[in-house]
Structure 1
């Protein structure tokens, strides 16, 4: 009989200090008048889980839903916080490659692959925030669907920081 250790679920909110999380959540709220703090917090948490997953799997063909992308936009606006987060996650920077708003790019397989990759990285998936354009009950300012730019490409680009001169490679 083979046994496996239970999977530990990571709390994406723990990637930021509580005050930082509140600041990013406030940015989501500012961009989406009428949104509840609960929804904005869930969006922020999923954006953090997505960025952490992208950092851990730089070659994966994954992309956020428009709802989760709203949280990623809020993170990026906090430039110093976002740069420090990326540095901690991957010793580099997870770039956001924007696309023009067009809901026709929706690819349910890409969304499923993204959610599975996040789950395999240990993050909870808030399925309501990953629904397709005809099924989402949450409206956000930017209605983009990110798509890979060709075979085996991804809208996620990780730029590793160069090693300081004189340091031997690991």
Structure 2
């Protein structure tokens, strides 16, 4: 028998501050100038979704290469990452 636990949906935009989101987007657009504002925002959302999924998974997860780049950009903000 499978037991499914429902979790309320979380808007990834609420997981970090707007200021940090803007900083991460700017950092990634400096590294990848072809990223539009929308793509940078989506990348941050995907990175946060990956981190949230990993926190609730019993098996190791791997991000896509671009999501990994967003994750590394977040890691460079050590205090904000630790607070997260």
Task: Please say whether Structure 1 and Structure 2 have the same fold, judged by a TM-score greater than 0.5.
Answer: yes
Q: Tell me, what secondary structure is at the counterpart of 2:34?
A: coil
Q: Tell me, what secondary structure is at the counterpart of 1:39?
A: helix
Tell me the TM-score normalised to structure 2 length: 0.81
Aligned positions of 1:46-57 closer than 5 A: 46-57=46-57
Q: Which runs of 5+ in 1 are unaligned?
A: 1-5, 86-170
- Root-mean-square deviation over aligned CA pairs: 2.1
Q: Which runs of 5+ in 2 are unaligned?
A: 1-5
Asked which structure has the greater CA Rg, the reply is 1
Instruction: Give how far 1:9 is off.
Output: 2.3
CA distance in 2, matches of 1:20, 1:36: 17
Structure number having the greater strand percentage: 1
Instruction: Give how far 1:18 is off.
Output: 1.0
Instruction: Give how far 1:7 is off.
Output: 6.0
Tell me the TM-score normalised to structure 1 length: 0.43
Structure number having the greater helix percentage: 2
**Aligned residue in 2 for 1:75:** 74
**Aligned residue in 2 for 1:131:** none
